Each structure stands twice: as structure tokens, then as C-alpha cells.
Amino acid sequence: MPAIEDLQERLEKLIELNESLTRENKILRAELATLKRGVFGRSSERLEPGQLGFFEDSSPSPVADAPSRLEKSRPEPKPGHGRAPFPPRLPRHVVELDVDEAEPRCSCCGKPMKRIGEEVTERGHMIPAQFVVNRYVRPKYACPNGHEVKTARLPDGVIDGGKYEASVYAHIATAKYADHLPLHRLEGIFKRYDVRLSKQSMWDMLVRVDELVAQPVLHQMRAELLAEPVLHADETPITMRLEDGKGTKTGFAWRWRNLHRPGEPSKAIVEFRTSRGRDGPRRFLGAWKGTLIIDGYQGYDEVIRSNGIRRAGCWAHARRKLKEAFDTGAANASGLLALIQKLFELERPTNEGVRSGELDREAQLEERRVVRAEHSAAVVAALYAEVETLEQQRSTLPKSKLGKAIGYLQSQRRALSTFLDDPRIPIHNNDSERDLRHLAVGRKNWLVFGSQRGGEVACRLYSLMLSCKQCGANPEAYLADVLMRVATTPSSQVATLTPWAWAAANPSS
């Protein structure tokens, strides 16, 4: 018969094993719920009205009644005003519709009627695209004595002896990288125009656009971007085929952009790297110093440390992690989510004031400085007090969704608090994430990059497309123009070919 001591030891081991299995089961259930929500649930992070209030207690919050001093100036929602008119820059084809009578007379008294005005109705009309062949006919003149032959100079093309005009190069690049059309679909579209343009030919044309425009212009764009004191950065994985065709590898598109300032151009660059390592930030930033708005990824740590860069965190990332925990049943995450929501609510009036034109940039910074000092700092302090309380609770498992979210908040506390001292800094990195969403949408169509070179060419052309989008320029018109000008533009004037400089010089395009 086993001794009592042995039975006691076995009991303790079984209790310990049971607790371990219970914790593991809780973590696995949370992970399963996350996966099921990713497959079957909504992707939005938006919280429904009252969703957090269900779990709130009745005790007063130290920041619940802290008003923003701009809340009273928040513009009221504007009622609808019917259909939006067509922009005045669109060409108009005027169709005159007069009455059938040559000399209209009143149907009652028979007297001639006078014109008193007109009614104007506008309807949008689409003209299907056409593929037109420019046929250059140049008479040849010969000397009677056989000394020479003269003919007019042929207009420059994208390449010597090329078959297509710059407009075709620009159209293919825009369709591929702005509209996400894979080359095999473009090949089918061109067939409808009775033009046989193969995928390989189109790829060669894209490489030419990259060599002629993207590479020299992006060199200038990078120099201008690194002159900015504040930058956003983010990265997203993209599958790439290996050069030998045997398998695939995960590459990364790194996104860099300046701080959004109303009335000033947004500058953005996408770089392709074969890894997510520290070489990406180090090579792009070089010796740059300033404030970098990023998430908690450790790949930026070395360049931040070596360059003396100030790190600013993203509250949207922190909220996302807490929302995942909340959705998997961690009801005690509701208090932290409510406090983060309060931070965003405090920022909203100043942002809306800028968008409506009520505040200029300097006024926005001053309002932010006051609101953050008077209210946001108290919200952050209350949030971290709640974080420490939850961290000490035995029910908060380190490997659970809530435990990981709390760990993120603790490790990023200094970066997440940077915005309190600098009114220029937004509280999130959503602008950079929004740009990367453009690549994510395209990825659903073309699935993978065909090679490392294909990824590099694509990201450089994505840089041009996204920059055109940011500054309101038509990327097709931009490329068609710059393709013909880049060869004759001195290197000292390459700055005039950036998308934002081109948009400023061509406001109607």
C-alpha cells in the first residue's frame, strides 16, 4: 500500500497537471475562436455602440467626464444635398434640343413665343477605349546630284525603334499597379482591340518604365522623404517565386511616408526586401534622425538605437490586440478598450476642425497640445493603472490573447506615450497601413511576385501610383508625360518629375 507521502505527492502533481491543462485549454479555445472569427466573422475592428458598456461597473472613472474643449465646436452632420455634380474639368459635349416648330407659338393665343432662358441637364456618358495607330508619313527629298536625302525628324519614342507610344506604357503600368489587373487579363483586353500584346512584351515595357522613370525619380523622392522630421513606417508580407522556379519564399514590402499635413503633399515610397530583418530600415533610413511612427516590431530597434531615433507607438495596434482578446471572451479587456476609445475621441475634434477648414495647422497643434496635457495624459495614466491591475490577476494568462495584449502595452509604454509630448505626432499609424492595403487588394488578383526582380520593379511602380493617388494626380497622364521628358531633364531638375511636383504644375490633370 503506497505511503501517505507518496499519495500526497501524486495528488499535488495531478493538481499541477490539471491546472496546466486548464490553462492550455483556455489558450487553445481562444486561438480557435480567433481563427473561426477570421474565417467566418467580420474583419472590422469597429465596436458596436454600447458593446463595452455591458461590462462596465458603476464606479466613477477618473477620466469618464473629462470633456474635450473642442467638443462644442464639432460640426453638425450635414444633411444630404442630392446628387453631386460632375467636376467642371470634365469635357462637355453640348447637345442642343429645341422644340419642333420653326417659330414656336402659344397653343392658347397663337402669338409668337420669346426665348426666356434654358434648362440644362447633365448626364454622364462613357466613350469606350480605342486603340489607335499613329501613322507617321514623312516625305523624302533627294538631291538631283545624289548628295543627300532629307526627311522630317521622327518624334521621340520611349525606346528607339519602339512599336508603342508612351501612352501604352503608361496605360499598362497604371492598369497593373493602380487597378490591379494581372498581365494575362490585360492580354485578353488588348485582344478585344485586335492587338496582340503578350504578357512577356508587357513585362518588358514595365521594366522600361521602371528604368526610365521609377528608379531616377524614386532616388529624388527618397532624398525628399528623408528630409522630413517625422516618418511613418510599416511592412507587409508578399509571396515571391524563387528564381529557379522551385518553390516560393516570403518577401516584404516596406512602406515609408511622411507625416500628413493638410495642404502639403503626402510623400510615400514602397521598397521590396526579401526579408523582414533589420537591414530594411537600416538601408533605407541611412543616417536619418527624427521621430518614427511604427508598431512594436523589433526589426526597427537597431536603427533606432544607432541613429538616436525617437520611437512613437500606434494606439490602433494596441486596440486591435485588445479587441481580439475581447472577442474571444476576455470581458475584462472592456475597460482598456473604453479608455483607448476615449483617446481617439479626444483627438477627433481637432482633426475634424482641420478637415472643415475651421483650424489651420498651427491652431491644430496648439489645440492638440492643450487637450493632450489636460485630458489625454490622465487617460493614459488610468489605462496603465488598469493594465497593472489585470497583469497581477491570476486569471490573466501570459500566453492568452489578453496576456499578450497587456504585454504589448507594457513593452510599448514609452513609445505609446510619445504623442503626449509632441502635438505633431498622431496617435496611430493608420495612414501607412492604409497605403499597404492597396498592395493587399492587388495581391488577391496577382497572388505572388514572379521573382525578386519582379517584386522590386512592382514596389517602385507602386510608389509612383500611391504618390499620384495621394496628391490627386492621374497616374496614367503623369507617366505618359514624364516618360517623354525624363531623358531630356537635367539631373539638377529631377525634382520637377516627382508626382507631387508634377501635380502642382498640372493641377487640371
Q: Is the pLDDT of residue 66 over 70?
A: no
Q: How close are the terminal C-alpha atoms of the chain, in Å?
A: 93
Q: What is the pTM of this model?
A: 0.81
**3-state SS assignment for residue 122:** coil
Measured in residues, the chain has a length of 509
User: Scanning the structure block, which residue is given the C-alpha cell 496635457?
Assistant: 373
- Max distance between CA atoms of the chain, in angstroms, equals 128
Reported as type and span, the H/E element at residue 2 is none
Of all residues in the chain, what percent carry a pLDDT higher than 70? 89
Q: Is the pLDDT of residue 310 over 70?
A: yes
Q: What is the pLDDT of residue 2?
A: 63
User: Scanning the structure block, which residue is given the C-alpha cell 534622425?
Assistant: 289
102-106, 312-316, 487-491, range with the lowest pLDDT: 102-106
37-46, 93-102, 108-117, 146-155, range with the lowest pLDDT: 37-46
DSSP state of 59: S
Q: Is the pLDDT of residue 35 over 80?
A: no
Higher pLDDT, 196 or 36: 196
Q: What is the pLDDT of residue 182?
A: 92
Q: What is the mean pLDDT of residues 77-89?
A: 73
Q: What is the pLDDT of residue 218?
A: 96
Q: What is the mean pLDDT of residues 456-485?
A: 94
Q: What is the mean pLDDT of residues 167-188?
A: 95
What residue segments make up the domains of the chain, in order of their start? 314-428
Q: What is the pLDDT of residue 388?
A: 93
- 73-82, 90-99, 195-204: which is most confident: 195-204
Nearest Cα neighbor of 253 from 465, 106, 77 is: 465
Q: What is the pLDDT of residue 39?
A: 65
23-27, 240-244, 413-417, range with the lowest pLDDT: 23-27
Cα–Cα distance, 415 to 419 (Å, whole number): 8
Q: What is the pLDDT of residue 174?
A: 96
Q: What is the pLDDT of residue 376?
A: 95
Higher pLDDT, 398 or 52: 398
Q: What integer best gives the mean pLDDT of the chain?
A: 86
Q: Is the pLDDT of residue 72 over 50?
A: no
Tabulate helix, strand, coil % of the chain (nearest 5): 50, 10, 40
155 Cβ contact list (under 8 Å, min separation 6) = 136
Q: What is the mean pLDDT of residues 467-486?
A: 93
Cα 119 to Cα 88, 102, 216: the distances in Å are 18, 19, 52
Q: What is the pLDDT of residue 17?
A: 79
Q: How confident is the model at residue 45 (pLDDT cuts 50, 70, 90)?
A: low
The 10s digit of each residue's pLDDT in 248-294 is 999 999 999 999 887 788 889 999 999 888 889 999 999 999 999 99
Q: What is the pLDDT of residue 47?
A: 60
Cα–Cα distance, 129 to 290 (Å, whole number): 47
Of all residues in the chain, what percent carry a pLDDT higher than 90? 55
DSSP state of 144: T
Cα–Cα distance, 314 to 280 (Å, whole number): 20
Q: Is the pLDDT of residue 62 over 60?
A: no
